[in-house]
Structure 1
Amino acid sequence: MTVATKPSIQLVESATHELLAWAHAVDHSSLTIFEKGLKLATRLGAHYREDGLVEIGFWTPQLMAQVMRKLEIYFEVLTPISPIDVSVPEQVVQFRRDRLNLMQQGEFHWGVIEGMTPGNQDQIGSFYWLRYIDQNEQLQAIRDPLAHSLPYGIFAPAELYDVNALQRDRTDLDYIRRTSASALPESEGIHLSAGTNRIPRVRAPRNILQLHIGTASKEGTFAGLTRIYQTISDKLAQGETLSPVEEAYVGYDAVQFLPTEPTIEYRDEYSPESEFFSFIGEDDGIIDIELTKPNTQDWGYDVPILGSSTTNAALLSSLRPNEVIDLISTLHNFSTGPIQVIYDLVYGHADNQSELLLPHQFLKGPNMYGQDLNHQLPMVRAIFLEMQRRKINTGADGIRVDGGQDFRFFNPLSGRVEYDDAYLLAMSDLVQEIEGCQRLLFTIYEDGRPWPQEGWEEISTYRELVELKPEAYQWGPLIFAHNTPTLNDVWEKKWRRVCEVMYEGDRWITGCANHDTVRRGNQVDTNADINWHLGKTLPEVLRKAYDNPAVTLWVYGFSPGLPMDFINATLHAPWMFFRNTDERYGVKVVSEEAGFLDWQVTPDLFKRKHAFRRLKSLGFKHIEELREFSQALNTVMEEKDYNISEVVEAIRLCVEGRGDSCEMPKIRGLRRPGMLRFLSKMDLDRLKQFARWFMEDCYEVCNVSHYPRMVNAAQTSHNLSLRQFRHRYPWLRHNLSGTDRFNKMSSEKTTVFYGVRSNPERPDEQIAMVAHMGGSPTQIKLGDLLQLEGKDWEMAIASPGLEIKNLDAFELQDTQGVLLTQKEIT
C-alpha cells in the first residue's frame, strides 16, 4: 500500500457552520422525530467530498453530561506515514496523530475537516474516532457505527474511504442502470412496486445458492470467490467443459452470502482494546502502531451491529472494500447472464460485545443471543436503516432478513409484546442509490414466529410478512432451522407442511439444506431412528440427506416456491456453527458442537494433513480420542452448569484419581495416551485453548476446497440439470391449481411423492414426478398412481444411476426419482 500524506489536519469553520445550519434546519423542521433522524443519519460518519474536505458527524447522547468539559472531547485522526503491507499477518507502522475539537449541537458532534487522507484501492486512508475523558478520568473512544471501512476490526478506529470513486469505477454500472430503468418490463429483471414513485424493485430470482464467504473458496475471501466465478464465466464463454466442482456454483441466478458484516472479536478480557490495532509507542506526535491482519472466524451471525454497513475485514484479502465490489460486478457481468447478490442482514439481535462498542441507547437488554436492539428509539431506528442503506449500496440485488421473529417490543398502548412489522417492511422498502440509479431490492424474510414459544413449530404459519408484503418471500417450514432429514419417516411426519408448500408455498424459500439445518443435523442423537438407506456411516447419511437426489428433483422439478441450495451440502463439505471469537462462552459452544465429530468427520478426514492440526499438536492423534473427550466434556459442562472453573477442577480430580473424588465416570474412562497427556496439564487456559483451536480447526475443515474427491460427477450433473429445468419451466414457481395433482404413497416402510402439473397458460404442457422419499424399494405403476400411460411420456430427468426401460412399471429405491414430460402430439 502506498502512503499519501497531507498537511496538518484542521477544522474548516465556515464549512462546519454550513453543516451545523443544515442540521439545525432539519431539527427545527415540521418532520416527525423519526423523519428528522433519517435525514440526520445520512450525514453521520465520515464522508469524503469532491472538494477534498471531509464531513464528520457523530451521534453522541452519552456526551450530553460532558457539556462543562468540551475541550476534553476531541476528534482523533491517525494517518499512516510509513507503508502498510496488507498481505502480512503483523507489522509495525508509524502514524501521525492529529487532534481537534468538533462542534457540539445537542446530541451530535459535527465538523468539516481539511487534510485527511481518503482510502482507496491503492492506499489505506486516515483512521478516525471520537475521544473523550470520562467522569473517572479514563480515556474513552466513540467509534463510527456507520463506517465504510474497518480494515482492522470493530475495536479499531474506522478508515476514511473514498466511496464516490469506488462507485464511479465499478464495472457493473451498465447492469445497475439497466435494472433501475422503470420502463423495463419484469422479464428484464425488475418489477415496479406500488407506492414508491415508480422506483423499480429487483425481480425475484428462480433459484439461489447460499454461500459462506469464509469457506466457499480456498482463500476464504471475496477475492477467492471472485477468482472461482471469473474462471467459470470465462470457461462458459469459451465453450469449455466445467469440472464437477465448478458445476456446483452455476445454474443459479442468485447467490446469497451468509452475513458479511464484522463479527465479534476474541477478548482475553472483557475490554474495548483492539487486538488488531495496538498502540505500542509515541514520539513527538508520531505513534508506532502494531497492525495485525484480522483473523476472526465466524459463521456470520454473531454481530456487534457496529460497522454493519461495511464488511468483515477477515473476508477481504486486500482489506479494501473494492474487493466486495469486484465480486458483485463479476456476478452481475457473468457470461451466461447476470447472477444476483443477496445479503443476509442481522438486525434482530446483537452480541454482548455491542455493550463495549455502542451507546446504551442502542440496546434494550439481554436476550438468548446477547442483546435486544432498541428499534423503537427514533434515532437508533434511523441509524439502523442508514447502516442498511450503505450496505446495500455496494450493489446487492436482494436482502434476506435474519430472525424476523426477534423484532419485538412492548407496546404500552396495547399492554402486549408485539412484532415490529413496520420496521421489517421498512427494511424491504429502503431505496438503493448507485450513481444516480435507484432500485428497491428483492426481499426474503426468515420468520418462524412465535418461535421460541413452546410448540412454535406446529403453530407457526411462516406467512405473516408475505401477507403484509406480497412481493416478498419467506423461509418456508421445510427449510427452517429444525429439519432432520437424516431420520426415518421424516417426510411422512412433515406431510402437513409438505402439502402447505405445494398449495400455498409460491412465496416460500424451499429446499432443506442451509447453514442452520445442516448444523442442526449435527445435533441429532446418534441413537435415534436413523435412515440407514442413505448410507453406511453417519457422515454418509448426513451428506445424502442434505443432497438427496429425490428431494432435489421434487423441489426443483415440481414444487412451487423459490429453491435454495447450500454449497457445503452440494459439495459434501462439512459444516457446523463455529467462531474463534469467544473467550467467555467458547468452551460451552464447543461442548455443544461435539456431534459434529460423529456426523461429519470420518477417520480418513481426520488423518489428512490439513485437518485438525492444532488439536493433534495437543495430543489428539486419533478421531476416537477427540470424540471421547468432546462427549465427556459435554457431560461435565452440563453437570457443572457450564461453570468452566468447576469443570476444570472436576477433570483434574478424575485424572489425578484422588480417592473417590471423581464425580464424572466418563472422564475417568478416558485412558488413551494422547488424551492423558492433554488432561494431565489441564487448567483454565488450556481448556480455553482447546475450545479456540477446536473452532479454528473445524473452520478449516469446513472449507469446500478440500473435497474435490468427495464430489460425485453424476450428482453435480443431476443437480445442474434440475436447476436448468427450473429455468426452462418458470411456471413451476406457482402454487398447484386446477387439474394439478400431488399425493403420496406410504406404508410403514416407504414414502413416495408423486404428481402431475400443467402450465396454467398452456394446459397441454405437463410435467409428472415420482420421487422415493424414504424407506424400502417399491414398485411404481404410473397407471395406478397417476392414471398415465408410459407411451405418452418421456424421461426428462432421472436420479443418478437410475435406468428405466418401461415407464409403465419400474422400481424406485430411497433417494431415486424421475421427472417426466409429456410427448408432443404429432
Structure 2
Amino acid sequence: MTAAETLPEVTSALVDAQRETLDEHEDRFEAAKALTPRLGAHWRDGHAEFGFWTPQLVGEVPESAVQLELLTPAEDVDLTADEQTVEFDRELVETRREGEFTWAAVDGVRPGTRERLGTLYRLSYEGEGERETVTDPFADSLPFGSYGPAELYDTSRLDEERADREYFERLEADGVAPHASEDDGLPRFEPATSMLEIHPGTATESGTLAGLTRQFETIGEKQEDGEDLTPAERNFVGYDAVQLMPVAPITQNEDELGYWLEQTETDDSLQATVRRPDMVNWGYDIVISGFGTVNPAILETRRPDELVDFIATMHTLPDPVKVVFDIALGHADNGALPLLNDEWFAGPGMYGQELDYTEPVVRAGLLELQRRKMDFGADGIRVDGAQDFTNWDPEAEEEWHDDDYLAEMDRVTQEVAGVEYRPWMIYEDGRPWPRSDWELASTYRTLIDQHPHAYQWGPVTFAHNTPALQTFWATKWWRVKEVADMGANWISGVANHDTIRRGTQLEPEPPFSQPQINRYLGDSEPEKLDRAYNNPASTVLFHAFLPGCPMDFTHANMRAPWGFVRDTDAVWNLKVLAEEENFPAWQIRPEQFHDDAHFERLKEWGFEERDELSDFLDLLARAVEMTDYDKAEIATLLNTMGTPIGEEFTVEELEQLGRDWMRDVADFANLAHWHDQQGDERTAFDLAVREFRQGHDWVVGDLTDGDTLDYVYPTDGTVLYYGHRTAPDGGEELLFVGNMEGVAERVVPTDLADVSDDGWELALSSPGLDVDGAADPLELADSEVALFVR
C-alpha cells in the first residue's frame, strides 16, 4: 500500500469551501447546517477527506502541532474474533485549521468494506508531555466501540449495493401525495397500521442485527412457499412496521478493559489488542459521538452493512415491512464527556448530560447525525423524549421546549438509493413532564398540532402505565376514551420496553392501603405480568377496534422476561440493581432459576434459590436508601446485616455482582430461550387479531359521532368495555365487548351496544371462549373478548 500523504490542493479546497459557506450565511446556524455534512471522513474518487470541529484547540494548541493519525492494518483482521493483537502501519499527516475547524485530504488510505477493515483515524497532538487524541463524532464506523479510533468507510458502496433499491424507487414514483412535504413536495412515508418494537440485543440467540435478519429471511421464505410458521415465528409477523430500539454507539463501563487496548507504538507502527464489543444495554445510554453509525455490540461482523441488510430484508419480504429507528438525541450519557468538546454540553441533567441546542454547530451537528443514521434506509423515526429537548432561560429561570429544533428534525431530508424523501415522524412527548401534574396536564398532542402528519406516543402507551394493577382499566378509562375519540395519530397499546420494566418494579404483594395487583390475571406473579402485557381483551381493543397505530413488544408477545439491562454504568449500576428488587418475583419462576441455562454468573456467587436472590436485592435496596447511595457504607451495612449467601462484599465485588446481574438478566431475556414455550392457540389468536387490522385498515381513523365506546356502569366487580363502529363508507360494522378486568360477567353484546341483532358474524374471540352469537348471552371472564362484524 502506498504511503499516506496530504493532498494540499484538495485540502485547500476544503478550507475555501468553509470560508465561502461562512461568507454566504449571516446566520451561524444556517452556515453550520451547510458545513456539518462535510465533517467526518468521506471516501471520494480514490482519496479521503476529513473534517473536524475543534473549538477546544483554538488558542490552546498550535495548528502545526495537530496531525491526522492514520492506522492501517498491516495484515488481515478477523472482525468476528473475540480478541486479537493487530499490527497497524501508523502515519501522521498534516492538517489545515481554519477557525474552529480542522481539515485534511489524504491519498494512500483505504476505506473499510464488508470484507475488510479500513484505515482507522483520529486527530493527534502533543499535550503536556503526552500525546492527546481527538475522536470523530461523525464517524461512519466504530468497530472497536465509541472509545476506539473511527474507521474510514465507503458508505457510497453501502447504498449502491443495497438489495431494496426498487422499494425506494417505487416511493419516488408514487409520490405519496397525502404525506408529501408541505415545503417542497418530497414524498413522505405513510404511517404504519401496526408496529412491533424489537430490542436487537435480545431478540435472537446471536443478539445481533445479522441474527435478526436471518430470522426474518426464514420467515419470508416460509411465507413465500406457503409453509406454516412456528408459534414463535408468528410473534414477529402481522405488522407492517418494526421499531428498533436505539442502535447507536453507547457508553462503556470504565471499570472494564475496553475494546481498543494500545500496547506498543513507534513512529511508523502501533500494536493494539482489539476485543469484540459486548456491552449489554437497552440502547438509550448513548454518547452522541458516532451516533450516525451502529453500536458494534449488535453487529456480528462489526460491519455497518448489517443494518442495511436488515432493512433491505424487511423491505423485500412478501409483504414489505417498514423500519422505524428510535432516535435518542435528547441527552447524552456521562460517558460522552471525554469524546466531545465542551461546546456540545449545557451541563449535567436527569439522564447524564444535557446538550446545548442553542450552540449553532451542535444544533446542526445533531441534525446531521440524525440524517446519516436515517440514510441507512429507515422509513420512520421515533424521537425519544421529545419533551426533553429544552433550553434554559436565565431571565425567566425556567426551561423552554425547543419546538423549533423538533421542527428542524421533521425537515431533515433523507436520500437512499438516489431517492429523496422524508420519514414518518413519531414523537414521544409527555410535556409538561416532569412537572408534578404532568399526567393530568399532558395532552400528548402538542407536536401533532404543530405537524399534522406526525404521530405521538399516546397516553396509554407511556412508561408509567401498569396494566397489572387492579382497576387500571377503570382508572385509565378517560385516556382510553381519548384514544377512541382523537387517537388517529397516536401510537397505542400497553406493551413496550418501558411499561414492562415499570411493571417489574411494582410491589408483588403490596400492603392493603396501596394499589393491588389484579389477581384474576393468573395464579403466579410471572403469569400475571405476562398476561397483563399480552392480554386478549386489550389486544383486540387496540388492534381491531381503536384508531391509531398499535404497537407491541417482542418480549410481551413471547411472554418472555424483560428488564432494565445495562452493564455500562460503573457509577450507578448498584442503584439500578437495587431498583430491580422485585424482578425475581415478577420475572423468574423457581424452576427457571434452577435451569442450568440461566443465571450462571449469579450462581457462582452462591445464589442457589430464586428467593435468596430476592432477599439479597431487598437488603440492597434498603441499604441504598439508608446510606444515600454511599457504596462503602452499603458494603458495610450488608456485611453487618448478613447476606442470604453468607458472603461479605467489598465495594468492588458489589460492583462486579451488579455487572454479572445485568449480563445474566440479558441472557435470560434472550428470546431464543422462549421459542419452545410458545402456545399454538395463543399465538395463532394474536396473529389473527393483527391480520384483522391489516385487512380492516379503516379502523385507524377516529371514532365518529355515530360510533360508541363505553363501559358498563356501575362496574360491580367488572370493568366491561363495549363498542360499536361503522366504516366511513357504511359498508362494515364492528361490535366489541371485552372484560378488561374483574369477575366473570354474563352479557348480551347487541343489548350492550343497543344495536340490532341481525347479520353479525364472529370475527375474533379469545382462546377457549364459547361464543354463540352477538344476540346470545355470553359469559366473559377477566381478559376475555369477542369481536363481531357485519
**Which range, TM-score by smaller chain?**
over 0.9
Residue of structure 1 equivalent to 2:623: 636
| 3-state SS in 2 of match to 1:111 | strand
Query: Which residue identity lines up with residue 54 of structure 2 in the other structure?
Result: T
Deviation at 1:591, TM superposition (A): 1.0
Take 2:173 and 2:392, find their aligned partners in 1: how far apart are those partners? 41
Q: Map of 1:415-430 to 2, 5 A cutoff?
A: 416-430=398-412
Asked if 1:332 is matched to 2:315, the reply is: yes
Measured on the aligned residues, the alpha-carbon RMSD in Å equals 1.4
Asked if 1:650 is matched to 2:637, the reply is: yes
Residue of structure 1 equivalent to 2:513: none
Asked if 1:756 is matched to 2:724, the reply is: yes
Take 1:720 and 1:313, find their aligned partners in 2: how far apart are those partners? 33
Take 1:733 and 1:140, find their aligned partners in 2: how far apart are those partners? 56
Count of residue correspondences: 783
Deviation at 1:416, TM superposition (A): 4.5
Q: Map of 1:719-758 to 2, 5 A cutoff?
A: 719-746=686-713, 747-758=715-726
Asked if 1:625 is matched to 2:612, the reply is: yes
Residue of structure 1 equivalent to 2:761: 794
In the alignment, is the contact (CA less than 8 A) between 1:514 and 1:565 conserved in 2?
Answer: yes
Report which stretch shifted further, 561-570 or 740-749. Answer: 740-749
Residue of structure 1 equivalent to 2:283: 300
In the alignment, is the contact (CA less than 8 A) between 1:182 and 1:192 conserved in 2?
Answer: no
Aligned with residue 366 of structure 2, among 366, 384, 396: 384
Take 2:172 and 2:603, find their aligned partners in 1: how far apart are those partners? 54
| 3-state SS in 2 of match to 1:597 | helix
Report which stretch shifted further, 17-26 or 147-156. Answer: 17-26
Take 2:197 and 2:88, find their aligned partners in 1: how far apart are those partners? 40
Q: Map of 1:131-530 to 2, 5 A cutoff?
A: 131-134=124-127, 136-181=128-173, 183=175, 191-195=179-183, 197-268=184-255, 275-283=258-266, 285-335=268-318, 337-411=319-393, 416-528=398-510, 529-530=516-517
Take 1:283 and 1:110, find their aligned partners in 2: how far apart are those partners? 25
| 3-state SS in 2 of match to 1:767 | strand
In the alignment, is the contact (CA less than 8 A) between 2:526 and 2:585 conserved in 1?
Answer: yes
| 3-state SS in 1 of match to 2:200 | coil
Q: 1:88 to 1:783 in 2, by over 3 A?
A: closer
Report which stretch shifted further, 147-156 or 124-133. Answer: 124-133
Aligned with residue 782 of structure 1, among 746, 749, 756: 749
Residue of structure 1 equivalent to 2:550: 563
In the alignment, is the contact (CA less than 8 A) between 1:790 and 1:806 conserved in 2?
Answer: no
Cα deviation per residue 1:149-201 (whole Å; 9 max; x = unaligned)? 00100000100000111110111001011113354555xxxx31211x21100
| 3-state SS in 1 of match to 2:50 | strand
In the alignment, is the contact (CA less than 8 A) between 1:560 and 1:734 conserved in 2?
Answer: yes
Take 1:11 and 1:28, find their aligned partners in 2: how far apart are those partners? 26
Cα deviation per residue 1:399-433 (whole Å; 9 max; x = unaligned)? 00000110111246876521001111211221001
Take 2:357 and 2:596, find their aligned partners in 1: how far apart are those partners? 48
Asked if 1:590 is matched to 2:577, the reply is: yes
Report which stretch shifted further, 405-414 or 300-309. Answer: 405-414
Asked if 1:543 is matched to 2:530, the reply is: yes
Q: 1:41 to 1:416 in 2, by over 3 A?
A: same
Take 1:367 and 1:818, find their aligned partners in 2: how far apart are those partners? 47
Asked if 1:706 is matched to 2:683, the reply is: no
In the alignment, is the contact (CA less than 8 A) between 2:254 and 2:570 conserved in 1?
Answer: yes
Asked if 1:105 is matched to 2:98, the reply is: yes
Residue of structure 2 equivalent to 1:657: none
Take 1:249 and 1:535, find their aligned partners in 2: how far apart are those partners? 25
Residue of structure 2 equivalent to 1:660: none
Asked if 1:66 is matched to 2:33, the reply is: no
Deviation at 1:133, TM superposition (A): 2.7
In the alignment, is the contact (CA less than 8 A) between 1:11 and 1:112 conserved in 2?
Answer: yes
Deviation at 1:346, TM superposition (A): 0.5
Take 1:92 and 1:764, find their aligned partners in 2: how far apart are those partners? 69
Take 2:468 and 2:205, find their aligned partners in 1: how far apart are those partners? 29
Asked if 1:765 is matched to 2:732, the reply is: yes
Query: Which residue identity lines up with residue 54 of structure 1 in the other structure?
Result: A
Take 1:638 and 1:511, find their aligned partners in 2: how far apart are those partners? 34
Residue of structure 2 equivalent to 1:47: 42
| 3-state SS in 1 of match to 2:712 | strand
Cα deviation per residue 1:210-257 (whole Å; 9 max; x = unaligned)? 000001111110000001000000000001000111111111110000
In the alignment, is the contact (CA less than 8 A) between 1:96 and 1:287 conserved in 2?
Answer: yes
Deviation at 1:593, TM superposition (A): 1.2
Take 1:727 and 1:557, find their aligned partners in 2: how far apart are those partners? 9
Deviation at 1:625, TM superposition (A): 1.0
| 3-state SS in 2 of match to 1:39 | helix
Take 2:401 and 2:638, find their aligned partners in 1: how far apart are those partners? 45
Deviation at 1:283, TM superposition (A): 4.9
Deviation at 1:583, TM superposition (A): 1.1
| 3-state SS in 1 of match to 2:568 | coil
Take 1:416 and 1:267, find their aligned partners in 2: how far apart are those partners? 34
Take 2:176 and 2:603, find their aligned partners in 1: how far apart are those partners? 59
In the alignment, is the contact (CA less than 8 A) between 1:744 and 1:753 conserved in 2?
Answer: yes
Take 1:488 and 1:84, find their aligned partners in 2: how far apart are those partners? 56
Aligned with residue 18 of structure 2, among 7, 18, 23: 23
Report which stretch shifted further, 102-111 or 744-753. Answer: 744-753
Deviation at 1:514, TM superposition (A): 0.2
Aligned with residue 561 of structure 2, among 566, 571, 574: 574
Q: 1:127 to 1:757 in 2, by over 3 A?
A: same
Cα deviation per residue 1:557-600 (whole Å; 9 max; x = unaligned)? 11111100000000011001111111111111111112111111
| 3-state SS in 2 of match to 1:615 | helix
How does the TM-score come out when normalised to structure 2? 0.97
Residue of structure 2 equivalent to 1:662: none
| 3-state SS in 2 of match to 1:357 | coil
Take 1:782 and 1:397, find their aligned partners in 2: how far apart are those partners? 40
Take 2:444 and 2:25, find their aligned partners in 1: how far apart are those partners? 39
How does the TM-score come out when normalised to structure 1? 0.93
Cα deviation per residue 1:74-108 (whole Å; 9 max; x = unaligned)? 11011111221122110001001001220000000
Take 2:237 and 2:750, find their aligned partners in 1: how far apart are those partners? 37
Query: Which residue identity lines up with residue 543 of structure 2 in the other structure?
Result: Y
Query: Which residue identity lines up with residue 288 of structure 2 in the other structure?
Result: I
| 3-state SS in 2 of match to 1:519 | helix
Q: 1:731 to 1:76 in 2, by over 3 A?
A: same
Take 1:282 and 1:413, find their aligned partners in 2: how far apart are those partners? 52
Q: 1:176 to 1:167 in 2, by over 3 A?
A: same
Take 2:397 and 2:778, find their aligned partners in 1: how far apart are those partners? 61
Query: Which residue identity lines up with residue 309 of structure 2 in the other structure?
Result: D
| 3-state SS in 2 of match to 1:28 | helix
| 3-state SS in 2 of match to 1:215 | helix
Aligned with residue 81 of structure 1, among 53, 74, 87: 74
In the alignment, is the contact (CA less than 8 A) between 2:760 and 2:773 conserved in 1?
Answer: no
| 3-state SS in 2 of match to 1:509 | strand
Take 2:130 and 2:448, find their aligned partners in 1: how far apart are those partners? 50
